[in-house]
Chain A
């Protein structure tokens, strides 16, 4: 790959004819996708205002007879919304930072260092990439019991990090391999050490794949429940999925409250995501410019 510096997103093709058939078809497609992909949010919002009977009767288009705001107060108070949200944010943030930090170190070593075992380490990570976390529930339980970290947030954060690193290393090392060598060669000439090269040169350039890693990590752990339910017992340490499932009893389920809880749970995420969406893409572009 050459050292291309003038870049940015794909060049937008200037509109030649204002209304070509292709364009209309394209907008039909894109709008149809908007409907199918965003409708669930609206559906969820309506759902969260229904009674249990209305929800279970399964009418797709039906509106609630009377708006059940009580679902929201149940979710806020009984579902421990605020406490669980803060716990989820804490666990997710620490996990994300941990994944990014640890995996970028390894990826740097694998893709840039001259050493014998780089490939071997890479293969080790590849092996673990597809292992489902749940398959390791019991061994993890025994390990954490001996580490005395059951019923702490560490019992979630550590496996979350461990299970996210393979895919992160896979993505980051792939990207770092594509960064031209000339960059660090000139840095070495300037007298920069390994750590400076890593911190000042490689990391800033790697923002786009790191964003991808962040998003993947988030998706995989935000709704994670099986590990959390097994390792966490104290009320004050529980995360958002506990709130969702707390409305599921042996012989009854309070679906309305679940809906309300999910709206409340998704809301901060959606807001943050849409606020940052611009920045995320800009970060990606900026990364490309520096590369």
Chain B
């Protein structure tokens, strides 16, 4: 035992890895060196998950972000899955339902160790780029042609998931940024019509505030909420879409007048007292709830919020929507913030690639019909056949659907356009102006610094 210095320690480490690799080989009995009272755990669980008996039975892992059993999307997913399993008795779909944050983290960890589940969820454009670059997803070009699946999608929406002419994911939604407003509260404040210019909007904010009505609600703890609104202002001050791609192409910098003007406008809105107190500690839900309980007059959000607002008791028949107005006379209200939704992608390493593609094809074909039935068809990425009015969708939902018809292009959210590092810098910077007024030029500079250090 005398000479056991560094060599000895190394020996221990080696012995350790050896022991681990041994357990790895006989993966069924790794109860050896730990807990004595525990033999059924490893064995039982291993056998069932991996390796189908003789290639006959196939298990497909379907990672998704519809975990809430009290949410209609969860029920509809389970329904389609069950139907498929009945039709294909040899296929078992294993649902790994996670909340959004956790799914993102899990997928990143899985991607790093090349353990991507058969089906997973990604966000469009810049956010899925790293995965595509690492060749983790299977192209779906052939699959989307089968059974006419491609034609069920709205024109152009698949572009956000296409890289070098290869389609890698199929979206569950396609939304636009709109302003919801509470007609009753507007009336109480003596405001006849929703604002058509940003200046009018700020005046309305002041009028509402003077009447003791909370003008707007937002859940700025989640940072992307404020960014989404800010980007819509930028879409106007820039006189049209494409500011961020111009920056990325080196044609503009964040210190461009259009950007500074947008920051100014945003600060004007905040300083006019538009948002509730303590806004940065309200998460998305708590923020939305202020509007849903009829306590705030306006709410800027993606059209996905329609379902939740529609079912709110306090707002029955009181809500209208309007397009985000022009800012300083600039921009076109028919250009919207575009929010193509999270999308289903298939792992390139899937052991049952064909079966997985077949299932996803079936799933997407049935998706619009089932979503329509559970009143979740506002903001789908696919075309929906059906009479919304007759199916009991509210007037508000139908007016949101009408807005979709006016869409003449627009911008994606910041984090769908820029790389993750720059996006984080942007999100933090915008959150900051909610709590303290800053020099707009300085905010622009912060952005430029973040962009340059993350190039």
Contact = CB atoms under 8 A, between A and B. Distances in A.
Interface of A: 52-53, 56-58, 74, 77-79, 90, 94-95, 97-98, 101-102, 115-117, 120, 137-138, 141-143, 145-154, 157-158, 161, 225-226, 229-230, 233-235, 237, 245-255, 257
A268 B4 CA distance: 49
A141 B74 CA distance: 28
A251 B305 contact: yes
A132 to B, nearest CB: 14
B193 interface: no
B8 A117 contact: yes
5 nearest A-B pairs in the assembled complex, by CB-CB distance: A78-B69, A56-B289, A98-B35, A248-B99, A233-B96
Interface size class of B (residues with CB under 8 A): 35 or more
B34 A98 contact: yes
Interface string B45-86: 110011000000000010101111111011000000000000
24 contacts: A53-B293, A53-B314, A56-B293, A74-B70, A94-B37, A98-B35, A101-B35, A116-B1, A116-B2, A138-B112, A141-B110, A143-B20, A145-B113, A148-B50, A152-B42, A230-B106, A230-B109, A233-B63, A234-B94, A246-B68, A247-B69, A252-B71, A252-B285, A253-B68
Q: Looking at B74, B110, B113, B312, which has the most chain A CB atoms within 10 Å of its CB?
A: B113
Given A56-B285, A151-B45, A249-B73, 4 more contacts: A97-B36, A101-B35, A141-B115, A245-B67
B34 A157 contact: yes
Interface of B: 1-2, 4, 8-9, 20-21, 23-24, 27, 30, 34-38, 41-42, 45-46, 49-50, 61, 63, 65-71, 73-74, 94-100, 102, 105-106, 109-110, 112-113, 115, 117, 284-286, 289, 292-293, 295, 304-305, 308, 312-314, 342
Nearest to A143: B20
A91 B174 CA distance: 41
A187 B46 CA distance: 45
Q: Looking at A97, A120, A234, which has the most chain B CB atoms within 10 Å of its CB?
A: A234
A117 B42 contact: no
A137 B61 CA distance: 21
Given A97-B35, A245-B102, A249-B68, A235 B286 contact: no
Nearest to A139: B113
A99 to B, nearest CB: 9
Nearest to B8: A117
Nearest to B34: A98
Contact of B113 (A138, A233, A249): A138
B37 A74 contact: no
Given A53-B314, A246-B67, A149 B113 contact: no
A245 B115 contact: no
B41 A249 contact: no
Contacts of B96: 233-235
Contact of B115 (A52, A98, A150): A150
Contacts of B69: 74, 77-79, 246-247
Given A78-B70, A94-B41, A250 B293 contact: no
Nearest to B65: A250
Contacts of A120: 9
A158 B42 CA distance: 11
A246 B98 CA distance: 6
Contact of B67 (A137, A141, A247): A247
B66 A148 contact: no
B49 A234 contact: yes
B393 to A, nearest CB: 18
A249 B293 contact: no
